[in-house]
């Protein structure tokens, strides 16, 4: 094998410094060529970018605000668009040089190439410094100016409690639907959601239609118009009305509609409220579902709500084997909770009930219930007492007396658990801050109950009932986010001396301290909130909680 030597490379001397170089059209070395030719000329070495501190967005040319994280590709693209003259060179590399996050400076290293002479390409690296200027984007400026909304969603429900909106608030938080809301206002019978764009309001209306049965109505108001460009500026209002029937309400379906629903007994219980109503006849386990359009064609109100529930004690329960889902049909014997020692019975009779001395209080009621799978003798259950009930309903008046039971049991309750006065190890977040800090998820009482006034005690009672529903119903717990409570406030010695209860149990009417007796042991089947169901609350400073 014959070795072939490489051809010799002819070199010439640089015309300025005399350094041997490979021949080129300029006959100059790289150092001398850079001294005579500056390819960065015309490209500014300093520039500025606009940053909105409220929404943390940068202004991208021409006039769009973009969310960009520090040292991200989006922010780098915004910085490069701010430089004039880059279109005359070739950009080969660009990256951020680390700076202190609070210095309000951004440093970017650029590497460019440009042909300076015939067939001579020069590459140069230089640095550009950007000054971050704080300002306000148009959306945040509208929010700061107040009442500059573009669209409004009015959510209403004509009921005597706030539990629906407390639950709706948690659904909105879980799905993140509140992020586009610029303000929330509590009004009579509902809430008002304000938006800067019409599309955000339509998104909220669509979300509400998926979680609760509603009907909606839209309207618009002309603010200004331009005849030359044929454009107009409108404000849009969407009125959303929620069906005035809630979970555990006693409902009497109109007879004509009941016949269309597989001839179900008109006297039913509402077991679930989603985008439709689910009703069940507790005496036969026959169930039906009523969609929102079907309801609004023939609307009807509930006969009684959870505020009308009465406590009963289960004396005997006999399941008959029929079941439907989680419900089991059973024959039950119950008596009013006052029929026992706590109700004024003579304590010398060894706990035996005196049906003649107390008359109606000690009467035993026989009824059929759908709770045969969870009730045991000795349990406490809430139900509607219909023996002497008088409802202002034509549909109920048309029912024959043999179709109206004395008692309708609704749900199991745990009175001994409440007497323990234990603080909850979980908490909820809320939408909205105190007045003047709207637009974010924040601390304070939340949007429900902010009005206060004479209804504040009623709102506290509704909130306590809502917390109990979350504790005792796993289905409701699965629909909301529960967070670990860092520190649960305990009662002070002064509160103990006065016999006051913890604020989380503000619904309790009895202000005397609970004295635990032998028969007031805690219920063994109380559905405890498990630790794995709780989420970590990473941002307690900006995310509020109902802890009142």
Range of weakest confidence among 45-49, 156-160, 175-179, 506-510: 506-510
Predicted pLDDT at 494? 41
120 within domain boundaries: yes
386 within domain boundaries: yes
Banded pLDDT at 246 (limits 50, 70, 90): very high
Predicted pLDDT at 498? 42
What is the average per-residue pLDDT within 376-380? 90
Reported as type and span, the H/E element at residue 494 is: helix 493-498
Q: Show which of 220, 242, 264 is a domain's final residue.
A: 242
Q: What CA–CA distance (Å, rounded) separates 154 from 99? A: 47
Q: Is residue 253 domain-shared with residue 325, that is, in the same domain?
A: yes
Q: Per-residue pLDDT tens for 220-244?
A: 998 888 888 888 888 999 999 999 9
107 within domain boundaries: yes
Q: Is the pLDDT of residue 497 over 60?
A: no
What is the average per-residue pLDDT within 270-279? 93
Q: What CA–CA distance (Å, rounded) separates 464 from 461? A: 5
Range of weakest confidence among 65-69, 126-130, 150-154, 406-410: 65-69
Banded pLDDT at 281 (limits 50, 70, 90): very high
Q: Is the pLDDT of residue 518 over 70?
A: no
Q: What CA–CA distance (Å, rounded) separates 359 from 345? A: 11
Banded pLDDT at 145 (limits 50, 70, 90): low
Alpha-carbon distance values, 454 to 55, 446, 450, 451 (Å): 37, 17, 12, 9
Q: Per-residue pLDDT tens for 146-156?
A: 657 889 999 99
467 within domain boundaries: no
Q: Is the pLDDT of residue 94 over 70?
A: yes
Q: Per-residue pLDDT tens for 423-440?
A: 788 888 888 643 334 443
The residues pairing with 317 across neighbouring beta strands, listed in sequence order, are 332
Predicted pLDDT at 285? 93
The pTM (predicted TM-score) of the whole model is 0.66
Q: Is residue 43 domain-shared with residue 173, that is, in the same domain?
A: no
327 within domain boundaries: yes
Mean pLDDT of the chain: 79
Q: pLDDT over 90 for what percent of the chain? A: 31
Alpha-carbon distance values, 487 to 423, 483, 539 (Å): 10, 12, 15
Q: Is the pLDDT of residue 459 over 60?
A: yes
> What are the start-end ranges of the E strands in 210-286?
214-226, 231-242, 250-252, 267-273, 276-280
Q: Is residue 125 domain-shared with residue 144, that is, in the same domain?
A: no
494 within domain boundaries: no
Predicted pLDDT at 371? 92
- Indicate the number of domains in the chain: 3
Q: What tokens does 267 get?
A: 């006297």
Q: Show which of 222, 242, 262 is a domain's final residue.
A: 242
Q: Is residue 223 domain-shared with residue 174, that is, in the same domain?
A: yes
Q: What CA–CA distance (Å, rounded) separates 325 from 218? A: 39
Q: Is residue 393 domain-shared with residue 253, that is, in the same domain?
A: yes
Decide if 182 contacts 438 (C-beta within 8 A). yes
546 within domain boundaries: no
Cα-Cα-Cα-Cα dihedral of 187, 189, 194, 197, to 10°? -160
Predicted pLDDT at 455? 67
CB hemisphere CA count around 254 (13 angstroms) = 12
Q: Is residue 155 domain-shared with residue 219, that is, in the same domain?
A: yes
Q: Per-residue pLDDT tens for 533-545?
A: 788 765 443 333 3
User: Which of 19 and 528 is assigned the larger pLDDT?
Assistant: 19
Alpha-carbon distance values, 226 to 223, 234, 336 (Å): 11, 12, 71
The closest alpha carbon to 203, from 251, 173, 238, 157, belongs to 238
Q: Is residue 218 domain-shared with residue 168, that is, in the same domain?
A: yes
Q: Per-residue pLDDT tens for 325-369?
A: 889 999 999 998 876 554 444 444 444 444 344 455 678 899 999
Q: What CA–CA distance (Å, rounded) separates 521 from 281? A: 33
Q: Is residue 58 domain-shared with residue 182, that is, in the same domain?
A: no
Q: Is residue 110 domain-shared with residue 238, that is, in the same domain?
A: no
Predicted pLDDT at 434? 36
Instruction: Sort 245 into a burial class: Cβ within 10 Å, 0-12 / 13-18 / 19+.
Output: buried
89 within domain boundaries: yes
Q: Give the angle subtended at the CA of 479 by the CAs of 302 and 303, to the nearest 5°.
A: 5
CA 491 to chain centre: 30
Q: Is residue 281 domain-shared with residue 368, that is, in the same domain?
A: yes
Q: Is residue 305 domain-shared with residue 270, that is, in the same domain?
A: yes
Predicted pLDDT at 249? 94
Q: Is residue 103 domain-shared with residue 232, that is, in the same domain?
A: no
One-letter-per-residue 3-state SS of 352-369: CCCCCCCHHHHCEEEEEE
Q: Show which of 394, 412, 430 is a domain's final residue.
A: 412
Domain assignment of residue 68, given as a range: 39-133
Banded pLDDT at 504 (limits 50, 70, 90): very low
Q: What CA–CA distance (Å, rounded) separates 51 from 460? A: 42
Predicted pLDDT at 528? 74
Q: Is the pLDDT of residue 490 over 50?
A: no
């Amino acid at each position: 094998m014959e070795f072939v030597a490489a051809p010799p490379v002819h070199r010439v001397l640089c015309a300025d410094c005399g350094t041997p170089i490979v021949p080129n059209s300029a006959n100059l070395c790289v150092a001398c060529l850079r001294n005579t030719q500056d390819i960065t000329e015309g490209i500014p070495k300093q520039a500025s970018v606009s940053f909105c501190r409220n929404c943390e967005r940068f202004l991208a040319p021409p006039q769009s605000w973009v969310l960009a994280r520090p040292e991200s590709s989006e922010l780098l693209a915004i910085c490069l668009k701010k430089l004039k003259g880059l279109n005359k060179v070739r950009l080969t590399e660009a990256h951020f040089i680390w700076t202190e996050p609070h210095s309000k400076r951004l440093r970017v290293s650029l590497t460019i190439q440009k042909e300076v002479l015939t067939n001579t390409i020069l590459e140069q690296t230089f640095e550009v410094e950007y000054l971050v200027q704080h300002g306000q984007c148009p959306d945040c400026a509208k929010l700061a100016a107040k009442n500059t909304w573009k669209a409004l969603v009015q959510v209403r429900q004509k009921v005597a409690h706030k539990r629906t909106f407390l639950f709706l608030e948690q659904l909105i938080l879980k799905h993140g639907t509140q992020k586009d809301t610029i303000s929330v206002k509590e009004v009579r019978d509902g809430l008002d959601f304000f938006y800067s764009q019409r599309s955000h309001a339509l998104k909220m209306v669509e979300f509400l239609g998926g979680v609760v049965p509603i009907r909606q109505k839209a309207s618009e108001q002309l603010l200004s118009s331009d005849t030359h460009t044929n454009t107009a500026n409108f404000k849009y209002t969407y009125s959303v009305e929620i069906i005035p029937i809630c979970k555990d309400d006693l409902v009497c379906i109109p007879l004509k509609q009941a016949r269309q629903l597989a001839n179900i007994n008109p006297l039913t219980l509402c077991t679930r409220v989603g985008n439709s109503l689910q009703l069940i006849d507790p005496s036969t386990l026959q169930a039906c579902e009523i969609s929102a359009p079907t309801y609004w064609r023939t609307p009807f109100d509930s006969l009684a709500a959870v505020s009308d529930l009465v406590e009963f004690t289960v004396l005997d329960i006999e399941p008959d084997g029929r079941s439907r889902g989680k419900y089991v049909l059973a024959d039950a014997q119950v008596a009013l909770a006052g029929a026992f020692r706590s109700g004024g019975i003579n304590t010398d009779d060894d706990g035996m009930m005196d049906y003649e001395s107390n008359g109606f209080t000690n009467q035993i009621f026989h009824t059929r219930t759908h709770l045969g799978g969870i009730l045991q003798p000795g349990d406490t259950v809430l139900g509607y007492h219909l023996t002497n009930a008088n409802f202002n309903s034509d549909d109920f008046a048309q029912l024959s007396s043999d179709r109206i039971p004395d008692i309708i049991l609704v749900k199991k309750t745990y009175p001994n658990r409440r007497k323990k006065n234990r603080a909850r190890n979980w908490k909820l977040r809320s939408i909205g801050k105190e007045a003047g800090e709207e637009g974010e998820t924040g601390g304070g009482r939340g949007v429900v109950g902010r009005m206060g006034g004479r209804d504040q005690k009623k709102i506290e009672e509704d909130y306590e009932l809502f917390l109990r529903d979350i504790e005792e119903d796993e289905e409701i717990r699965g629909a909301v986010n529960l967070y670990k409570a860092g520190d649960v406030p305990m009662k002070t010695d002064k509160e103990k001396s006065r016999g006051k209860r913890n604020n989380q149990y503000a619904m309790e009417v009895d202000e005397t301290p609970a004295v635990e007796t032998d028969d007031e042991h805690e219920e063994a089947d109380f559905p405890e909130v498990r630790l794995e169901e709780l989420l970590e609350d990473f941002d307690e400073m900006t995310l509020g909680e109902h802890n009142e």
